[in-house]
Structure 1
């Protein structure tokens, strides 16, 4: 894989000439559900009050981008639009009132923001934010309800997940931008925007996996394998990986999975198999597939009396939980986790430092690297189940 070195001195000089001006740059624009993304020249407005304009250097594709691009939820079909929410880059300029960042700072965007002032942000038990929490239906800026992207003909282009990183430059609310150490490798920091933070945080923060715990992970994509990494680093004694893709099962074993299960090779329900090999069920199960049938298997795989199921998969359908209320009287619990229960701006910088020191093996999640112009190929790799994270170089 080709490694691109970033010249921060050159970038800083270029940014001093663009501050306060509309920038013309390239972006991958979605014109309709399932249509190939078009690399277009667009206009990026100056950042307004409490906004940050970022030069994106690396971005990657998550299944949330894939599902939105495919138009699986009709309410999200707002076009033209710039998708993308996993990225890293350099601050080009800041709007009025932004005091915690300046031009030249290294940053990662986050889809689940933190204003620091609302009742949610002040709570020690939630990582949501009243104004900047994740919202897949939001398509404009919070400041004035307008977009910061335009076609060269003056047509508005809409935002996605508070971030819109499939663009050489993007404007983001400062509550959704995290400053990281200047020495942090931005290519791997990209993974902290979503997948790795979500999965690993679910193991560390939501479940609080302890040494000797037993864990089952349903779905071994990037998020599922991040759960595996989190459980491994916490000293889990048994990590069961469940997937129908044999390549993902092999990858899981390489990253710390102790037992693999392919449901297609069983002649009984998965939960019965897991209960049989884990003395009645696992302490923690994680549903990372976004499938209700899988969710039920994950729930029933946890141990009676104390088992906890953490829901991470994105469920597009309006169907409700496949559980009978009385099943909750067996002592099993179920909970959802957003962004791994990390408070983005206040906790992610420390997590980034831990990653720099090798606590988490981020490079294992990068399976492909491509130039930004080949973004449609990167989407195809994800659809085919061949990639965990494909890093796009801008």
Structure 2
């Protein structure tokens, strides 16, 4: 059954608490912030539970772009829709939802395909703003802009998320702490094994933690159909203007060397 929320805040800014990261690697500070009303194609969500993912820690430590501060981190969560913007038909106020950092517009050829989960209308990037408007919905009490994280920013009592980053779930599902993991940990781990790697009952699998060299080796094996690689490419050179060489180039380079050695 959908949760009933007060309609008093609908269309108005909300003052609430959030864990704000002011500088890289510094402790998060619980502050009162202002969450602006949603724009068209957006929903404002009351976060019920959120968890800490290792990706949050990676970006918390970043001193250069795509690390941006002040910022509200967090992307594994479950919540309830407080209000919806214009042109939102997929969810209603009171619906239970999982915010997701990967978009699904439901319209483009990739979203409609069973062979892809990478939306071509809203391609993934580590942006500090909302995907359609390149603006933030967060400010502190002094009016300073607070940056978004992975289009979710769940370390806040309320957040605004684009509808392409929201998945409605059965409201009968209990709002438990572990439910928030569906947005990243579960979908990434289970999805990689079940959907991407197509692991079948009785299969033998191994899971490794890989550094850059390990990734190169794994990429060589992947080309032979033996592995699937899951991870965040945090090579900062790939995000800086004028720098063409990044981790993908490095992996390709190492894969060539591996193939040469194998001959």
- TM-score bracket, shorter-length normalisation: 0.7 to 0.9
Bigger CA radius of gyration = 1
- 1:306-321 to structure 2, matched below 5 A, reads 307-317=225-235, 318-319=246-247, 320-321=250-251
Matched, 1:45 2:33: no
Matched, 1:293 2:213: yes
Q: Return the structure number with greater helix share.
A: 1
Q: Distance in 1 between matches of 2:181 and 2:79?
A: 12
Q: CA 1:114–1:8 in 2, change beyond 3 Å: closer, same or farther?
A: closer
Match of 2:26 among 31, 35, 39: 35
- 1:317-356 to structure 2, matched below 5 A, reads 317=235, 318-319=246-247, 320-321=250-251, 322-324=254-256, 327=259
> Larger deviation: 119-128 or 26-35?
119-128
Compute the displacement of 1:52 (Å): 0.4
The alignment's TM-score, normalised by the length of structure 1, stands at: 0.58
Tell me if the contact between 2:71 and 2:146 (Cα under 8 Å) persists in the aligned partners: yes
Whose relative contact order is higher, 1 or 2, with alpha carbons under 8 Å and at least 6 apart?
A: 2
Q: CA 1:80–1:176 in 2, change beyond 3 Å: closer, same or farther?
A: same
Structure 2 unpaired stretches of 5+: 236-245
Q: Which residue of 2 aligns with 1:196?
A: 186
Q: Distance in 2 between matches of 1:315 and 1:160?
A: 16
Q: Distance in 2 between matches of 1:116 and 1:328?
A: 43
Matched, 1:25 2:16: yes
Tell me if the contact between 1:290 and 1:314 (Cα under 8 Å) persists in the aligned partners: no
Q: Distance in 2 between matches of 1:329 and 1:174?
A: 49
- 1:371-386 to structure 2, matched below 5 A, reads none
Compute the displacement of 1:315 (Å): 3.5
Match of 2:112 among 98, 103, 122: 122
Compute the displacement of 1:87 (Å): 0.2
The alignment's C-alpha RMSD in Å is 2.4
Compute the displacement of 1:210 (Å): 1.6
Q: Which residue of 2 aligns with 1:214?
A: 204
User: Alignment length, in residue pairs?
Assistant: 247
Structure 1 unpaired stretches of 5+: 1-6, 219-288, 331-394
Report SS of the residue matched to 1:25. strand
